[in-house]
Structures are given as structure tokens and as C-alpha cells.
Amino acid sequence: MSLDLAPFKRLIRQRCGLVFEGVGERRLATVLSERMGSSDAQHYLVQLEADTDEFGKVVNQLTINETYFFREMEQFDLLTDVLVPRLMSRRPPGVPIRILSAGCSSGEEPYSIAMALFDRFGENTLQRFKIVAGDIDSTVIARAREARYSEFSFRSVGQGLRSRYFRVEHNAHVLTDAVRNAVEFHELNLLHPAFAPTMPAFDIVFMRNVSIYFDVPIRLEIQRNLAAMMSGDGYLVTGMTETLANDLGVFSLVEDGGLYYFCRQAPQPAPMSRASIRSATPDHPAHRALTKSQPPSHRLHGEPAAKTHRPVPGAAVPTLSLVSPVAPARLPTLEEARALVHDERYDDASPLVQKLLSAQPHNNDARLLQAYIHLNRRNFELALDGCSDVLAADAWSVDALFVMGLAEKWREQSAAAIAWFKKAAYLHQQCWPAHFYLAGLYSAQGDHAAAGRAHRVVLRLLAGVPDPGIRVVPVGLRPAEVRFLCERRLNVVPTPMPMGGS
């Protein structure tokens, strides 16, 4: 008999906000079945309601903890270049600026905050800032306190940062004590934040890639909780794809130099913009309010600004919203967005995809289209991030593996590209585009035997009516041309020479 998930879903949503649909529902069913063992569902539900330890264990297995250092790097520049200087100019000397990383997972985010501040303020960081981090998952908090990381956490940072802040011990990268001691970790349920009354207010909250697991009423409740934990002029930073989904009227949305963040209060008339902040001194003319007539200084990765502008009384900075109580915009369909992407009209497709993701943050197809748009704008990190998120929810996504392969290939990371294309081809053996790219990569490495094998696989597949398994993003290759290329390349593959000479 199949398990009735409804009462479990209700309990989990009510206690910690997590919502499970589609693929998530399957994960929930697996976790519950494992934990309840041979006991019946009714009995286990009663146990779960009463036993907070058991409930915690279930939640720990359900959370998605994907994270890495300096994820969405631009937001760390926003922190150090804009938000912190602004707050410093408003706070009396000696009063530390308080930062919360909410949903911090295994610590990469709060430690990135600390490292960005150390880079900018040196040893003074410890006096000038108080960094607190929290997550509902007790296992990740324990890992964060240990501050030992594998290669996987460093996918978007260079060697310099590693050598400044980490030492290698038994294949793990161990964070230096100064940074480690700069962050205080707590178990924290954002829906029922127990530490709120005792903690002084936070000036900046990072809550990134967390709200995607909640529905709108839960997001609203969590935002109200956050607002109650923040100083009156504080800032909230959400993940870049979550921005519009979090524009719920609790905080004011601000666009500054192509980046979005939220203000606890309606923004005041004289904030420094990202573009002006580097050149401006306090008396410099560049240090003045953005007005509605001034366009944003630049747009992040060519993303168009959101369309609907909702004026806030007295606010000089444009606030943006797609949540209009008067005339809600029609939600585009995935097919419309997909057609634009297939026509390579990325500028037109991007706002549609954003809208879709605002309304349906878990929509993997929309995430794939967004990743593909990032790829074509050569924003490889964002494309890879997007695909990682898709794979975290659906490990069988051939599209995501294929786009990962393309991103790594285009940024000339051949080994990584080969690994992703191999996975795609392994998962879906008829995926001839993956075999074709593998052939090219092997050939470029001088492995003509492997290249020949891969070319022959492509020809064999194209002789039938192959299903490449790529459902959402464009394949970008014409079978007839690929067949022609493979035939030609097979004719010119040199006979392998002894000693691997060319």
C-alpha cells in the first residue's frame, strides 16, 4: 500500500516550512519509508509529532544543502562595496555591523562573508563585524563548525584564496582559525526562530537559495520573522534567481548596478550606487541618489531589469515588483520561453524565464532554460550553478549534464567537459550530441582511438532514429551535418603511432 504523504507534508511544512512536490515528493516518501522501517504510517506520524529528535533526523535527511564558497560572487562585492560602507557611514564608531547567514548549510556562505571582509578590512574585521550563521539542519551546522572542506566547495574560487585562508590536511582544506572564529553558528529554524528575542538586531541578512524550498505564505512568514530580527535600516540579500519571488511587500526591493537586494525600510534618497561607490568620496558629486530617470549603472550579466516598476512614496531608488495587487501579469508558459531560447532570442527569453522562476522556483525546465541562457552569454559559473541545482533535484537530467559539459568545454576545461558528457552518455546511451562532443574532446587531447570509437558510436546512432534525451534546451547540432563531419573525421584519423608520437 502506498504511503499517504499528505499528513507528513502538512506537519513538515507547518514546523519548518519545507514544501515537497514532484521529485521532492518522491524523496520525502523514500526518507519516511526508511525512517519508519516496519512501523505503520499512522503510528510513525504520531511519533514524529511528539519526538523532536526524530523529527530533526527526518528534516536533516530532507534538506538540500548544496553550497560552495563565493557562490554568486557579485553579491559579496555588493556586501563589501556597497552595503557595508553605507552602514558604516550610519553607525557610530565602535558599533559592530551584524550579519546573519540564514540557511548557511555547511558554512561556505558565512565563511565567504568573513573572508571577503578580511580581504577588505584586515584584522579589524573581528572588531567591526559580528557574523552569525544558522541552519535548521544540525548535521550541516556540525560540519560548518569543523570548517574542513573538499575540492567541491572551491568550484568558483581561485588558488589565491585557498592559500590565504586554508591549509591542506589529509586531503581536506582546513580553514584558518581567524576566519573560523569570526563566525558563530546556531541551529536555526527560520519559521520559528528561537534566538530572535535574545540576539541584537542584524544589519545585513543573507538568505540565499533557501526560499526556493518554501511556498509564498511560508516565505511571507519567514520574511516577517527576519524583519523582526533586523535593524530598521537593514538589508536582505536573497539568491539572484529568487529575487522577484521574494518581493512580497515586507521589504522594499532595490536594483543597484544590476544587482538586487531588499531594504528593511523604503530606501532613503541618497544611497551610493555600485558604480559610483568605487569612484565617489563622500563629497563627490557621484555620491547622490539614483533617481527614477537615471538608468541602472549596468546590468548584471546582461539580464534585463524587471518590467514592472512600483513607486514607493518618498523613495528615490526604483523598486521593482512582478507582484502587482492590481493587475497581475499573465504568467508566460514554458513553451513560449523555450521557443525564444530555441530561436536564440535570449534577451527576450530571459525575462520570461525569470517570471516563470519567480512563480515556480522549483521548475526545473525553467532553470534549465535559464542555465542555457547564461551559457550563451558566457556566464559559465551561473550556468553551472543552475545545472547543479537542477541535478540536486533531479539527478537524471540529461539536459543538465549536457549543459554542464558545454559550459566546461566552452571555458576550455576539457577534463571536466569529458566527465559531464560521459555522464550524459552513460545515463542516456542514445545521447549522440554528448558522444559527438566527446569525440571532439578526445581528438583534441590526441586520443585518436577514443575519438574514432566515439565518432563511430555517433554514426551508428544517427543511422537509426535516435532520441538524444535532451528535452528542454536546444541540441544545437544538425544530425546531417554531424554525420558528414563524423564520416570525414573517421577517414582522417591517423593510424596510432608507437610511443604516442604525432
Ligand X SMILES: C[S@@+](CC[C@H](N)C(=O)[O-])C[C@H]1O[C@@H](n2cnc3c(N)ncnc32)[C@H](O)[C@@H]1O
Q: Give SS3 for 68.
A: coil
Least distance in angstroms from the C-beta of 209 to ligand X: 4
Does the footprint of ligand X cover residue 303 (CB under 6 A)?
Answer: no
Does position 136 bind ligand X by CB under 6 A? yes
Q: Which stretch binds ligand X (CB under 6 A): 2-10, 101-109, 396-404, 425-433?
A: 101-109
Question: Are 419 and 404 in contact, with CB atoms under 8 Å apart?
Answer: no
Q: Which stretch binds ligand X (CB under 6 A): 183-191, 426-434, 436-444, 471-479?
A: 183-191
> Could you tell me which of 402, 365, 429, 469 has the C-alpha nearest to residue 23?
365
Q: Which residue among 78, 147, 157, 190 contacts ligand X (CB under 6 A)?
A: 190
* 209 belongs to the binding site for ligand X (CB under 6 A): yes
Starting at the edge strand found earlier in the chain, the sheet holding 183-187 runs 183-187, 129-135, 97-102, 202-207, 230-238, 259-263, 252-256
Calculate the alpha carbon distances from 155 to 92, 349, 430 in Å.
Answer: 38, 28, 30
Radius of gyration, alpha carbons of the chain: 25
Applying CB under 6 A, does 65 fall inside the site for ligand X?
yes
139 binds ligand X (CB under 6 A): no
Stretch that binds ligand X, among 73-81, 129-137, 155-163, 354-362 (CB under 6 A): 129-137
Binding map of ligand X across residues 392-411, x = CB under 6 A, - = no contact: --------------------
| CB-neighbour burial class of residue 293 (10 A; exposed 0-12, middle 13-18, buried 19+) | exposed
Residue 453 has φ and ψ, to the nearest 5°, of: -60, -45
Q: Is 41 exposed, middle or buried (0-12, 13-18, 19+ CB in 10 A)?
A: middle
DSSP code of residue 81:
I
Whichever of 65 and 430 has its CB closer to ligand X, that residue is 65
Contact status: 64 vs ligand X (CB under 6 A) = yes
Q: Which is nearer to ligand X, 208 or 489 (CB)?
A: 208
In one-letter notation, the amino acid at residue 369 is L
Q: Choose which of 98, 130, 143, 208 interacts with ligand X (CB under 6 A).
A: 208
144 forms part of the interface with ligand X (CB under 6 A) = no
Reduced to 3 states (helix: H, G, I; strand: E, B; else coil), residue 185 is strand
CB of 120 to ligand X, least distance (A): 21
- The C-alpha cell at 234 is 537593514
Give the residue, chosen from 29, 55, 66, 233, that forms a contact with ligand X under the rule CB under 6 A: 66
Task: Considering only the stretches 62-70, 411-419, 437-445, 465-473, report the one whose residues sit in contact with ligand X under the rule CB under 6 A.
Answer: 62-70
Q: How far is the CB of 185 from ligand X (least distance, A)?
A: 12
Task: Return the range that interacts with ligand X (CB under 6 A); candidates 66-74, 168-176, 308-316, 439-447.
Answer: 66-74
d(CA 353, CA 357): 6
Interface contacts to ligand X, rule CB under 6 A: 16-18, 63-67, 71, 103-105, 109, 135-137, 140, 188-191, 208-210, 213, 239
